[in-house]
Structure 1
Amino acid sequence: MIVWINGAFGAGKTTTARELIDLIPNSTLFDPELIGAGLTQLLPAKRLAEVGDFQDLPIWRRLVVDTAAAMLAELGGVLVVPMTLLRQDYRDEIFGGLASRRIAVRHVLLAPAETILRERIADREVPPDLPDGEIRVRQWSYDHIEPYHAALAGWLTADAHPVDTSALTPYEAAVRIAAAVSGGTVPVCDIVQTPEPTRHA
Protein backbone atom coordinates (compact mmCIF):
# COMPACT_ATOMS: atom_id res chain seq x y z
CA MET A 1 0.00 0.00 0.00
CA ILE A 2 1.00 3.60 -0.60
CA VAL A 3 0.01 6.62 1.47
CA TRP A 4 0.44 9.53 -0.94
CA ILE A 5 0.72 12.89 0.83
CA ASN A 6 -0.28 15.67 -1.54
CA GLY A 7 -0.52 19.40 -0.99
CA ALA A 8 0.85 22.73 -2.11
CA PHE A 9 4.59 23.29 -2.28
CA GLY A 10 5.58 24.38 1.21
CA ALA A 11 2.65 22.66 2.96
CA GLY A 12 4.94 20.43 5.01
CA LYS A 13 4.53 17.14 3.15
CA THR A 14 8.06 15.78 3.65
CA THR A 15 8.26 16.78 7.32
CA THR A 16 4.88 15.18 7.97
CA ALA A 17 5.88 12.05 6.03
CA ARG A 18 8.98 11.64 8.19
CA GLU A 19 6.78 11.73 11.28
CA LEU A 20 4.28 9.34 9.70
CA ILE A 21 6.75 6.51 9.10
CA ASP A 22 7.24 6.33 12.87
CA LEU A 23 3.49 5.88 13.34
CA ILE A 24 2.64 3.35 10.60
CA PRO A 25 4.23 -0.05 11.23
CA ASN A 26 6.58 -1.38 8.56
CA SER A 27 6.53 1.83 6.53
CA THR A 28 9.24 3.44 4.42
CA LEU A 29 9.66 6.96 3.06
CA PHE A 30 9.88 7.26 -0.73
CA ASP A 31 10.51 10.78 -1.99
CA PRO A 32 10.03 11.07 -5.80
CA GLU A 33 12.01 14.33 -5.66
CA LEU A 34 15.10 12.11 -5.63
CA ILE A 35 14.15 10.70 -9.02
CA GLY A 36 13.80 14.22 -10.37
CA ALA A 37 17.21 15.14 -8.97
CA GLY A 38 18.73 12.04 -10.56
CA LEU A 39 17.25 12.86 -13.94
CA THR A 40 18.93 16.26 -13.89
CA GLN A 41 22.21 14.34 -13.87
CA LEU A 42 21.19 11.70 -16.39
CA LEU A 43 19.33 13.58 -19.12
CA PRO A 44 20.91 15.98 -21.62
CA ALA A 45 20.59 19.66 -20.76
CA LYS A 46 18.69 20.22 -24.01
CA ARG A 47 15.94 17.80 -22.94
CA LEU A 48 15.73 19.29 -19.46
CA ALA A 49 15.40 22.79 -20.96
CA GLU A 50 12.28 21.65 -22.84
CA VAL A 51 10.26 21.25 -19.62
CA GLY A 52 9.57 23.62 -16.77
CA ASP A 53 9.17 20.88 -14.16
CA PHE A 54 10.62 17.38 -13.96
CA GLN A 55 7.04 16.10 -13.50
CA ASP A 56 6.50 17.01 -17.15
CA LEU A 57 9.03 14.35 -18.14
CA PRO A 58 7.27 11.07 -19.01
CA ILE A 59 10.34 9.21 -17.77
CA TRP A 60 9.88 10.72 -14.30
CA ARG A 61 6.29 9.52 -14.08
CA ARG A 62 7.25 6.03 -15.28
CA LEU A 63 10.15 5.82 -12.84
CA VAL A 64 7.98 6.89 -9.91
CA VAL A 65 5.65 3.96 -10.61
CA ASP A 66 8.46 1.48 -11.29
CA THR A 67 10.49 2.55 -8.25
CA ALA A 68 7.51 2.43 -5.91
CA ALA A 69 6.60 -1.05 -7.16
CA ALA A 70 10.19 -2.23 -6.81
CA MET A 71 10.50 -0.84 -3.29
CA LEU A 72 7.30 -2.56 -2.20
CA ALA A 73 8.47 -5.83 -3.77
CA GLU A 74 11.77 -5.51 -1.91
CA LEU A 75 10.50 -4.24 1.45
CA GLY A 76 6.79 -4.96 1.68
CA GLY A 77 4.71 -2.90 4.07
CA VAL A 78 3.69 0.66 3.32
CA LEU A 79 5.34 3.40 1.29
CA VAL A 80 4.78 6.96 2.45
CA VAL A 81 5.15 9.27 -0.55
CA PRO A 82 5.28 13.06 -0.07
CA MET A 83 4.76 14.62 -3.48
CA THR A 84 2.72 17.47 -4.90
CA LEU A 85 0.52 16.39 -7.81
CA LEU A 86 -1.58 19.22 -9.22
CA ARG A 87 -2.32 17.85 -12.70
CA GLN A 88 -5.09 15.30 -12.81
CA ASP A 89 -3.68 13.60 -15.90
CA TYR A 90 -0.38 13.02 -14.10
CA ARG A 91 -2.27 11.70 -11.06
CA ASP A 92 -4.21 9.36 -13.34
CA GLU A 93 -1.03 8.13 -15.02
CA ILE A 94 0.87 7.48 -11.80
CA PHE A 95 -1.97 6.12 -9.68
CA GLY A 96 -3.27 4.15 -12.67
CA GLY A 97 0.16 2.61 -13.20
CA LEU A 98 0.25 1.60 -9.55
CA ALA A 99 -3.30 0.21 -9.77
CA SER A 100 -2.29 -1.92 -12.75
CA ARG A 101 0.31 -3.49 -10.45
CA ARG A 102 -2.39 -4.02 -7.81
CA ILE A 103 -0.85 -1.44 -5.48
CA ALA A 104 -3.46 0.39 -3.43
CA VAL A 105 -3.01 4.16 -3.04
CA ARG A 106 -4.54 6.13 -0.20
CA HIS A 107 -4.45 9.80 -1.18
CA VAL A 108 -4.15 12.43 1.58
CA LEU A 109 -4.15 16.21 1.10
CA LEU A 110 -2.44 18.57 3.53
CA ALA A 111 -4.66 21.65 3.37
CA PRO A 112 -3.58 24.58 5.54
CA ALA A 113 -5.31 27.93 5.10
CA GLU A 114 -3.61 30.08 2.46
CA THR A 115 -2.42 32.64 5.01
CA ILE A 116 -0.76 29.85 7.00
CA LEU A 117 0.73 28.36 3.84
CA ARG A 118 2.26 31.70 2.85
CA GLU A 119 3.65 32.17 6.37
CA ARG A 120 5.25 28.73 6.28
CA ILE A 121 6.83 29.42 2.91
CA ALA A 122 8.18 32.76 4.16
CA ASP A 123 9.49 31.26 7.40
CA ARG A 124 11.51 28.51 5.74
CA GLU A 125 15.05 28.61 7.05
CA VAL A 126 17.67 29.74 4.55
CA PRO A 127 20.85 27.66 4.76
CA PRO A 128 23.76 30.11 4.97
CA ASP A 129 25.62 28.37 2.16
CA LEU A 130 22.66 28.24 -0.27
CA PRO A 131 20.70 31.50 0.04
CA ASP A 132 19.99 31.85 -3.68
CA GLY A 133 18.81 28.26 -3.98
CA GLU A 134 16.44 28.67 -1.06
CA ILE A 135 15.07 31.92 -2.49
CA ARG A 136 14.32 30.10 -5.74
CA VAL A 137 12.53 27.34 -3.79
CA ARG A 138 10.43 29.93 -1.96
CA GLN A 139 9.50 31.67 -5.21
CA TRP A 140 8.65 28.31 -6.80
CA SER A 141 6.30 27.64 -3.88
CA TYR A 142 4.63 31.04 -4.19
CA ASP A 143 4.27 30.65 -7.96
CA HIS A 144 2.43 27.35 -7.53
CA ILE A 145 -0.22 28.56 -5.08
CA GLU A 146 -2.59 29.48 -7.92
CA PRO A 147 -2.20 26.11 -9.73
CA TYR A 148 -2.87 24.47 -6.35
CA HIS A 149 -6.11 26.47 -5.98
CA ALA A 150 -7.10 25.50 -9.51
CA ALA A 151 -6.60 21.82 -8.66
CA LEU A 152 -8.62 22.27 -5.45
CA ALA A 153 -11.48 23.81 -7.40
CA GLY A 154 -11.29 21.02 -9.98
CA TRP A 155 -10.46 17.47 -8.97
CA LEU A 156 -8.19 17.46 -5.92
CA THR A 157 -10.66 17.99 -3.08
CA ALA A 158 -12.95 15.23 -4.34
CA ASP A 159 -10.06 12.83 -4.89
CA ALA A 160 -7.99 13.15 -1.70
CA HIS A 161 -8.78 12.96 2.02
CA PRO A 162 -8.16 16.53 3.30
CA VAL A 163 -6.38 17.26 6.58
CA ASP A 164 -6.50 20.89 7.67
CA THR A 165 -3.02 21.46 9.07
CA SER A 166 -3.46 25.18 9.79
CA ALA A 167 -3.16 24.66 13.55
CA LEU A 168 -1.25 21.36 13.54
CA THR A 169 2.42 20.53 13.93
CA PRO A 170 3.81 17.98 11.46
CA TYR A 171 3.63 15.33 14.20
CA GLU A 172 -0.01 16.15 14.96
CA ALA A 173 -0.83 16.02 11.24
CA ALA A 174 0.92 12.64 11.00
CA VAL A 175 -1.10 11.32 13.96
CA ARG A 176 -4.34 12.33 12.21
CA ILE A 177 -3.25 10.74 8.94
CA ALA A 178 -2.20 7.50 10.65
CA ALA A 179 -5.55 7.31 12.45
CA ALA A 180 -7.48 8.03 9.24
CA VAL A 181 -5.56 5.39 7.29
CA SER A 182 -5.83 2.70 9.97
CA GLY A 183 -9.49 3.55 10.60
CA GLY A 184 -10.43 3.26 6.94
CA THR A 185 -11.39 6.93 6.61
CA VAL A 186 -8.99 7.30 3.68
CA PRO A 187 -10.37 5.09 0.91
CA VAL A 188 -8.28 3.48 -1.78
CA CYS A 189 -8.26 5.71 -4.87
CA ASP A 190 -10.77 4.34 -7.33
CA ILE A 191 -8.87 4.63 -10.59
CA VAL A 192 -9.73 2.16 -13.30
CA GLN A 193 -7.00 1.29 -15.71
CA THR A 194 -6.63 -1.63 -18.06
CA PRO A 195 -3.80 -3.84 -16.82
CA GLU A 196 -0.63 -3.64 -18.83
CA PRO A 197 -0.49 -6.26 -21.59
CA THR A 198 1.75 -9.25 -21.02
CA ARG A 199 3.97 -10.70 -23.68
CA HIS A 200 3.50 -14.30 -24.62
CA ALA A 201 6.53 -16.36 -25.54
Structure 2
Amino acid sequence: MIVWINGTFGAGKTSTARELAGILPDSTLFDPEFIGDALRVLLPRKRLAEVTDYQDLPSWRRLVVDTAAAMLAELGGVLVVPMTLLRQEYRDEIFGGLAARRIPVRHVLLAPAETILRERIANRAEPGDPHEVDLHVRQWAYDHIPVYQQALGWLTADAHVIDNGALSARETAERIAEAVRTEAAPVCDIVQSPEPVRETVAAGVLFFDEHDRVLLVDPTYKAGWEFPGGVVEAGEAPA
Protein backbone atom coordinates (compact mmCIF):
# COMPACT_ATOMS: atom_id res chain seq x y z
CA MET A 1 0.00 0.00 0.00
CA ILE A 2 1.02 3.61 -0.60
CA VAL A 3 0.10 6.57 1.58
CA TRP A 4 0.56 9.57 -0.71
CA ILE A 5 0.90 12.84 1.21
CA ASN A 6 0.00 15.72 -1.09
CA GLY A 7 -0.03 19.46 -0.53
CA THR A 8 1.69 22.54 -1.84
CA PHE A 9 5.13 23.68 -0.77
CA GLY A 10 5.19 24.58 2.90
CA ALA A 11 2.32 22.26 3.81
CA GLY A 12 4.62 20.06 5.91
CA LYS A 13 4.67 16.92 3.75
CA THR A 14 8.26 15.82 4.34
CA SER A 15 8.36 16.28 8.11
CA THR A 16 4.95 14.61 8.44
CA ALA A 17 6.06 11.71 6.23
CA ARG A 18 9.12 11.08 8.41
CA GLU A 19 6.90 10.93 11.49
CA LEU A 20 4.35 8.71 9.75
CA ALA A 21 7.01 6.23 8.66
CA GLY A 22 7.84 5.80 12.34
CA ILE A 23 4.20 5.23 13.30
CA LEU A 24 2.86 2.89 10.62
CA PRO A 25 4.15 -0.66 11.04
CA ASP A 26 6.43 -2.01 8.31
CA SER A 27 6.60 1.31 6.46
CA THR A 28 9.30 2.93 4.32
CA LEU A 29 9.77 6.54 3.23
CA PHE A 30 9.97 7.07 -0.54
CA ASP A 31 10.58 10.62 -1.77
CA PRO A 32 10.14 10.91 -5.58
CA GLU A 33 12.14 14.13 -5.48
CA PHE A 34 15.27 11.96 -5.55
CA ILE A 35 14.18 10.66 -8.96
CA GLY A 36 14.01 14.25 -10.16
CA ASP A 37 17.51 14.86 -8.80
CA ALA A 38 18.80 11.78 -10.65
CA LEU A 39 17.22 12.86 -13.94
CA ARG A 40 18.88 16.26 -13.64
CA VAL A 41 22.19 14.38 -13.77
CA LEU A 42 21.23 11.69 -16.29
CA LEU A 43 19.35 13.66 -18.94
CA PRO A 44 21.05 15.98 -21.43
CA ARG A 45 20.90 19.69 -20.64
CA LYS A 46 19.01 20.29 -23.88
CA ARG A 47 16.16 18.07 -22.70
CA LEU A 48 16.13 19.60 -19.21
CA ALA A 49 15.94 23.08 -20.71
CA GLU A 50 12.65 22.13 -22.39
CA VAL A 51 10.79 21.86 -19.05
CA THR A 52 10.44 24.09 -16.01
CA ASP A 53 9.59 21.28 -13.57
CA TYR A 54 10.89 17.71 -13.52
CA GLN A 55 7.30 16.52 -13.10
CA ASP A 56 6.79 17.56 -16.74
CA LEU A 57 9.24 14.83 -17.77
CA PRO A 58 7.36 11.65 -18.79
CA SER A 59 10.39 9.67 -17.60
CA TRP A 60 9.94 11.06 -14.07
CA ARG A 61 6.31 10.00 -13.93
CA ARG A 62 7.09 6.53 -15.26
CA LEU A 63 10.02 6.09 -12.88
CA VAL A 64 7.91 7.10 -9.86
CA VAL A 65 5.47 4.29 -10.64
CA ASP A 66 8.18 1.75 -11.48
CA THR A 67 10.32 2.62 -8.45
CA ALA A 68 7.38 2.48 -6.05
CA ALA A 69 6.36 -0.92 -7.46
CA ALA A 70 9.93 -2.20 -7.22
CA MET A 71 10.31 -1.02 -3.61
CA LEU A 72 7.06 -2.65 -2.55
CA ALA A 73 8.08 -5.89 -4.31
CA GLU A 74 11.40 -5.76 -2.46
CA LEU A 75 10.20 -4.62 0.96
CA GLY A 76 6.44 -5.14 1.17
CA GLY A 77 4.50 -3.17 3.75
CA VAL A 78 3.66 0.50 3.25
CA LEU A 79 5.37 3.23 1.24
CA VAL A 80 4.95 6.74 2.63
CA VAL A 81 5.28 9.18 -0.28
CA PRO A 82 5.51 12.96 0.34
CA MET A 83 5.03 14.55 -3.07
CA THR A 84 3.17 17.55 -4.43
CA LEU A 85 0.85 16.68 -7.32
CA LEU A 86 -1.13 19.69 -8.52
CA ARG A 87 -1.80 18.66 -12.12
CA GLN A 88 -4.75 16.32 -12.37
CA GLU A 89 -3.46 14.57 -15.49
CA TYR A 90 -0.22 13.70 -13.69
CA ARG A 91 -2.22 12.35 -10.74
CA ASP A 92 -4.24 10.28 -13.24
CA GLU A 93 -1.11 8.89 -14.86
CA ILE A 94 0.77 8.04 -11.67
CA PHE A 95 -2.14 6.75 -9.59
CA GLY A 96 -3.50 4.94 -12.63
CA GLY A 97 -0.15 3.24 -13.18
CA LEU A 98 -0.06 2.14 -9.55
CA ALA A 99 -3.67 0.93 -9.65
CA ALA A 100 -2.92 -1.06 -12.81
CA ARG A 101 -0.22 -2.85 -10.79
CA ARG A 102 -2.79 -3.57 -8.07
CA ILE A 103 -1.07 -1.21 -5.63
CA PRO A 104 -3.66 0.57 -3.44
CA VAL A 105 -3.06 4.29 -2.86
CA ARG A 106 -4.48 6.29 0.02
CA HIS A 107 -4.34 9.95 -0.94
CA VAL A 108 -4.01 12.54 1.84
CA LEU A 109 -3.98 16.31 1.35
CA LEU A 110 -2.37 18.60 3.93
CA ALA A 111 -4.26 21.88 3.67
CA PRO A 112 -3.25 24.61 6.14
CA ALA A 113 -4.63 28.10 5.61
CA GLU A 114 -2.85 30.34 3.10
CA THR A 115 -1.60 32.69 5.83
CA ILE A 116 0.09 29.77 7.55
CA LEU A 117 1.54 28.53 4.26
CA ARG A 118 3.09 31.91 3.57
CA GLU A 119 4.48 32.12 7.10
CA ARG A 120 6.07 28.69 6.79
CA ILE A 121 7.59 29.56 3.41
CA ALA A 122 8.99 32.81 4.79
CA ASN A 123 10.64 30.98 7.70
CA ARG A 124 11.86 28.04 5.65
CA ALA A 125 15.62 27.45 5.65
CA GLU A 126 17.62 25.60 3.01
CA PRO A 127 20.69 24.28 4.85
CA GLY A 128 23.89 24.73 2.89
CA ASP A 129 22.34 26.90 0.17
CA PRO A 130 23.56 30.45 -0.45
CA HIS A 131 21.13 33.26 0.36
CA GLU A 132 20.36 33.89 -3.33
CA VAL A 133 19.23 30.31 -3.87
CA ASP A 134 17.14 30.45 -0.70
CA LEU A 135 15.29 33.52 -2.00
CA HIS A 136 14.73 31.79 -5.34
CA VAL A 137 13.28 28.71 -3.62
CA ARG A 138 11.00 30.85 -1.49
CA GLN A 139 9.70 32.83 -4.46
CA TRP A 140 9.13 29.58 -6.38
CA ALA A 141 7.05 28.31 -3.44
CA TYR A 142 5.05 31.55 -3.29
CA ASP A 143 4.38 31.35 -7.03
CA HIS A 144 2.85 27.88 -6.63
CA ILE A 145 0.19 28.96 -4.12
CA PRO A 146 -2.25 30.14 -6.87
CA VAL A 147 -1.63 26.88 -8.77
CA TYR A 148 -2.45 24.95 -5.61
CA GLN A 149 -5.60 26.99 -5.04
CA GLN A 150 -6.78 26.27 -8.58
CA ALA A 151 -6.24 22.54 -7.99
CA LEU A 152 -8.19 22.46 -4.73
CA GLY A 153 -11.43 21.55 -6.51
CA TRP A 154 -10.29 18.12 -7.66
CA LEU A 155 -7.85 17.66 -4.78
CA THR A 156 -10.48 17.99 -2.06
CA ALA A 157 -12.82 15.68 -3.99
CA ASP A 158 -10.10 13.05 -4.40
CA ALA A 159 -8.10 13.13 -1.17
CA HIS A 160 -8.65 12.85 2.56
CA VAL A 161 -8.12 16.47 3.69
CA ILE A 162 -6.33 17.38 6.92
CA ASP A 163 -6.02 21.01 8.05
CA ASN A 164 -2.66 20.82 9.80
CA GLY A 165 -2.26 24.55 10.34
CA ALA A 166 -2.38 24.19 14.14
CA LEU A 167 -0.85 20.69 14.27
CA SER A 168 2.74 19.57 14.71
CA ALA A 169 4.26 17.11 12.25
CA ARG A 170 3.78 14.34 14.84
CA GLU A 171 0.13 15.23 15.43
CA THR A 172 -0.50 15.38 11.68
CA ALA A 173 1.12 11.98 11.20
CA GLU A 174 -1.05 10.51 13.96
CA ARG A 175 -4.15 11.89 12.22
CA ILE A 176 -3.07 10.25 8.97
CA ALA A 177 -2.29 6.95 10.68
CA GLU A 178 -5.74 6.94 12.25
CA ALA A 179 -7.36 7.73 8.89
CA VAL A 180 -5.48 4.82 7.31
CA ARG A 181 -6.40 2.41 10.11
CA THR A 182 -10.09 3.36 10.07
CA GLU A 183 -10.19 3.66 6.26
CA ALA A 184 -11.36 7.26 6.56
CA ALA A 185 -8.77 7.85 3.84
CA PRO A 186 -10.22 5.60 1.11
CA VAL A 187 -8.23 3.73 -1.50
CA CYS A 188 -8.10 5.58 -4.84
CA ASP A 189 -9.32 3.49 -7.75
CA ILE A 190 -8.02 3.90 -11.29
CA VAL A 191 -8.78 7.54 -11.93
CA GLN A 192 -9.53 9.71 -14.90
CA SER A 193 -9.88 13.41 -15.48
CA PRO A 194 -13.46 14.66 -15.86
CA GLU A 195 -15.21 14.22 -19.18
CA PRO A 196 -14.38 17.04 -21.64
CA VAL A 197 -16.84 19.92 -21.76
CA ARG A 198 -16.29 20.65 -25.46
CA GLU A 199 -15.95 18.64 -28.65
CA THR A 200 -12.88 16.46 -28.74
CA VAL A 201 -10.94 14.94 -31.64
CA ALA A 202 -9.45 11.49 -31.14
CA ALA A 203 -7.59 9.06 -33.37
CA GLY A 204 -7.28 5.27 -33.33
CA VAL A 205 -5.84 2.57 -35.54
CA LEU A 206 -6.58 -1.07 -36.36
CA PHE A 207 -3.15 -2.66 -36.55
CA PHE A 208 -2.68 -6.27 -37.75
CA ASP A 209 0.41 -8.45 -38.15
CA GLU A 210 1.09 -11.11 -40.78
CA HIS A 211 -0.95 -13.63 -38.75
CA ASP A 212 -4.00 -11.31 -38.63
CA ARG A 213 -3.57 -10.70 -34.92
CA VAL A 214 -4.87 -7.32 -33.82
CA LEU A 215 -2.91 -5.01 -31.52
CA LEU A 216 -4.67 -3.88 -28.32
CA VAL A 217 -3.40 -1.73 -25.46
CA ASP A 218 -4.14 -1.93 -21.73
CA PRO A 219 -4.30 1.71 -20.51
CA THR A 220 -2.80 2.36 -17.08
CA TYR A 221 -5.30 5.13 -16.32
CA LYS A 222 -8.52 3.11 -16.71
CA ALA A 223 -9.82 -0.44 -16.85
CA GLY A 224 -10.32 -2.36 -20.10
CA TRP A 225 -8.53 -2.86 -23.42
CA GLU A 226 -8.54 -0.46 -26.37
CA PHE A 227 -7.19 0.04 -29.87
CA PRO A 228 -4.02 2.18 -29.98
CA GLY A 229 -4.74 5.88 -30.22
CA GLY A 230 -5.82 8.74 -28.03
CA VAL A 231 -7.13 12.27 -27.79
CA VAL A 232 -5.61 14.76 -30.22
CA GLU A 233 -3.87 17.51 -28.29
CA ALA A 234 -4.10 21.17 -29.27
CA GLY A 235 -1.96 21.75 -32.36
CA GLU A 236 -1.35 18.01 -32.87
CA ALA A 237 -2.24 16.26 -36.14
CA PRO A 238 -4.44 13.14 -35.82
CA ALA A 239 -1.67 11.08 -37.46
TM-score greater than 0.5 by the shorter chain: yes
Q: Rate the CA distance shift 1:93–1:196 in 2: closer, same or farther, 3 A.
A: farther
Q: Partner residue of 1:73? A: 73
Q: Rate the CA distance shift 1:91–1:128 in 2: closer, same or farther, 3 A.
A: closer
Displacement of 1:158: 0.2
How many residues align structurally?
A: 196
Q: Partner residue of 1:187? A: 186
Q: Aligned runs of 1:110-125 on 2, under 5 Å?
A: 110-125=110-125
Does residue 1:50 correspond to 2:59, yes or no?
A: no
Q: Rate the CA distance shift 1:196–1:49 in 2: closer, same or farther, 3 A.
A: farther
**SS where residue 144 of structure 1 aligns?**
helix
**SS where residue 166 of structure 2 aligns?**
coil
Any stretches of 5+ residues in structure 1 without a counterpart?
none
- Partner amino acid for 1:85? L
Any stretches of 5+ residues in structure 2 without a counterpart?
192-221, 227-239
Deviations 1:17-60 (A, max 9, x none): 00000110000000000000000000000100000100000000
Q: Rate the CA distance shift 1:126–1:31 in 2: closer, same or farther, 3 A.
A: closer
Q: Distance in 2 between matches of 1:49 and 1:175?
A: 41
Q: Rate the CA distance shift 1:190–1:126 in 2: closer, same or farther, 3 A.
A: closer
Q: Distance in 1 between matches of 2:150 and 2:129?
A: 35
Q: Partner residue of 2:162? A: 163
Displacement of 1:9: 1.0
Q: Which shows bigger deviation, 64-73 or 186-195? A: 186-195
- Partner amino acid for 1:182? R
**SS where residue 107 of structure 1 aligns?**
strand
* TM-score normalised per structure 1: 0.94
Using CA pairs below 8 Å that are at least 6 residues apart, which structure has the higher relative contact order?
1
* TM-score normalised per structure 2: 0.79
Query: Between Structure 1 and Structure 2, which shows a larger proportion of helix residues?
Result: 1
Q: Distance in 1 between matches of 2:186 and 2:20?
A: 18
- Partner amino acid for 2:174? V
Q: Distance in 2 between matches of 1:128 and 1:155?
A: 36
**SS where residue 22 of structure 2 aligns?**
coil
Task: State whether residues 101 and 195 of structure 1, in contact with CA within 8 Å, keep that contact through their aligned partners in structure 2.
Answer: no
Q: Rate the CA distance shift 1:128–1:78 in 2: closer, same or farther, 3 A.
A: closer
Q: Distance in 1 between matches of 2:167 and 2:224?
A: 40
User: Identity of counterpart residues, as a percentage?
Assistant: 72
Task: State whether residues 127 and 134 of structure 1, in contact with CA within 8 Å, keep that contact through their aligned partners in structure 2.
Answer: no
Displacement of 1:194: 3.1
Does residue 1:107 correspond to 2:136, yes or no?
A: no
Q: Partner residue of 2:212? A: none
Q: Which runs of at least 4 in structure 1 moved beyond 4 Å after TM superposition?
A: none
- Partner amino acid for 2:223? T
Deviations 1:127-185 (A, max 9, x none): 35532222222111101000000000x31110000000010011110010001111110
Coordinate RMSD, CA, aligned:
1.4
Q: Distance in 2 between matches of 1:60 and 1:119?
A: 30
- Partner amino acid for 1:47? R
